[in-house]
Structure 1
């Protein structure tokens, strides 16, 4: 089983529009309402592909109740930890050329007592889990020190911890000894303070995270693929060509595919890129099913000096 933890989940509304014109009425051609939050999306992708998972998330207010209903409607097993604050709502605007404009709320403050309950819930679930995935932004009220302690307790308790976040929480997860971290290119550059203009730069930055304590680094390069750096070396993956409809949740699907395939080596990287590219080709933040995957279009090779100046995150 793979347990996912989303400390700042959301209800996500995606609007597909012809073009975004500021100061004018913009009409949506299609709308989608989905459960949101990076860990939530990992669980959704796993469920869609028949992998056992449980999502743990704090929920509050009417939006929290709606989030629970949406997840249960997709067959996601979950434990919702009640909080006083209101679960956030996010809006995504998607244009035909793939341009995405996101408007995200910061989310409710998570009190220290509420984080304690979440942590205890996760530790109990981790006893039967192969992986514990902590993904997404850290909500207001959770200090860097509290997040470091949260990750450290999971690792010291024997959990194989995978973390997908950014900034100081990403640094904290690496230093806590997370078995896997999954930054995108910009997050990796930000946390290491180094410009990433080539695959070599990405590999060197990933090795920095490994020196801090992370086991493996799966660095997403958006539509250009991903770089995997671990104790066995470096692998570069290029995804199949797809028409991007919405990249929201594609990185989460990538992480889900990587973990589902064993989280190591070319097979796992192939699965990651097949799942991530399939998610990008779907509307809203839909997660791919087996029929959506194109593994044959993925190309895996050793690391080289490929320039990254035009790569996206």
Structure 2
């Protein structure tokens, strides 16, 4: 079972439009409403892959009730933590050329009592978990060290933990030695404090995160591929993608693919790449099923192209 923790979930509304024109009325071609937040997306992708998952998340107001309803409809177990504030609502606009514009609300502040209840719920629900995936930004009220506390409690209970966050929350958590961290290129650059122009730069940055405490680093480089750096070696993976419809949740789908394939080694990286590639070819934040995956389009190699320039250098 894979347990996910999403401290700042959302109700995500996604629209496909031909093109954005500022100041004009734009008619959407399609629209979707999905439960959102990084950890929620990981649970959705894990469930789509046929695995059991449990989502721990604070929920409040009408948006929170709808998030719980949508997750239940997808067969995902939910351990809700009731809060006084309303769950945030986000908007994603996907243009026909693949450009995505996102508007993310900040989310409600959590009181001290709500924070402690969230931690206690994670502890109580994690007894049967093979992995705990802690994902996303921290809402108001939670200290940057909150994820570090979760990591220490998870390890004390014998669970492995995967972490997908950024900034100070990531750096604080590294001291607690999470088993896997999953930054994207921009988050990786911020963590080491310098720009990344090549795959080799990203490899060096991932190695630095390991020296700071990460057991393994699964780094998403967007269209350029993914890196896995762990104690036993380093690998680089890519996939052929025919059409990009939306990259909302693609990184979360990658993490889910990585965890359901064991969470270590080149086979897990291949699964991560396949899941991420399938997700960007689906509308909105729709998560791929096994039928959407194309393992034949994936290549994984230990011969990392160090000099390959990143198409979108991270700074």
If the length of structure 2 is used for normalisation, what is the TM-score?
A: 0.97
For 1:53 and 1:136, how far apart are their aligned partners in 2? 17
Partner of 1:120: 120
CA contact (8 A) 1:196 1:308 kept: no
CA contact (8 A) 2:224 2:311 kept: no
For 2:191 and 2:298, how far apart are their aligned partners in 1? 28
For 1:221 and 1:233, how far apart are their aligned partners in 2? 18
For 1:275 and 1:309, how far apart are their aligned partners in 2? 21
For 1:145 and 1:251, how far apart are their aligned partners in 2? 23
Indicate the larger mover: 152-161 or 70-79: 152-161
CA contact (8 A) 1:238 1:273 kept: yes
Describe how 1:1-313 pairs up with structure 2 within 5 A. Answer: 1-302=1-302, 303-311=304-312
Indicate the larger mover: 78-87 or 198-207: 198-207
For 1:160 and 1:149, how far apart are their aligned partners in 2? 14
| 1:194-218, Cα deviation, whole Å (9 max, x unpaired) | 2111222111111111111110000
If the length of structure 1 is used for normalisation, what is the TM-score?
A: 0.97
For 2:295 and 2:147, how far apart are their aligned partners in 1? 36
For 1:133 and 1:153, how far apart are their aligned partners in 2? 13
2:207 aligned counterpart, secondary structure: helix
1:197 aligned counterpart, secondary structure: strand
Shift of 1:312: 6.8
Shift of 1:224: 1.7
Indicate the larger mover: 155-164 or 84-93: 155-164
For 1:103 and 1:28, how far apart are their aligned partners in 2? 16
For 1:151 and 1:270, how far apart are their aligned partners in 2? 26
CA contact (8 A) 1:47 1:53 kept: yes
Shift of 1:225: 1.2
CA contact (8 A) 2:146 2:169 kept: no
2:142 aligned counterpart, secondary structure: coil
CA contact (8 A) 1:224 1:312 kept: no
- Structure 1 unpaired stretches of 5+: none
For 1:138 and 1:251, how far apart are their aligned partners in 2? 18
2:29 aligned counterpart, secondary structure: strand
CA contact (8 A) 2:244 2:281 kept: yes
CA contact (8 A) 2:196 2:313 kept: no
| 1:100-128, Cα deviation, whole Å (9 max, x unpaired) | 00001000001221111111111122211
CA contact (8 A) 2:87 2:108 kept: yes
For 2:83 and 2:295, how far apart are their aligned partners in 1? 41
2:311 aligned counterpart, secondary structure: coil
Indicate the larger mover: 199-208 or 183-192: 199-208
Q: CA RMSD in A?
A: 1.2
For 1:72 and 1:269, how far apart are their aligned partners in 2? 29
2:145 aligned counterpart, secondary structure: helix
CA contact (8 A) 1:135 1:164 kept: yes
| 1:232-267, Cα deviation, whole Å (9 max, x unpaired) | 111000122231100000000000000000111111
Equivalent pairs counted in the alignment come to 313
For 1:288 and 1:239, how far apart are their aligned partners in 2? 15
For 1:145 and 1:255, how far apart are their aligned partners in 2? 22
Shift of 1:295: 0.5
1:155 aligned counterpart, secondary structure: helix
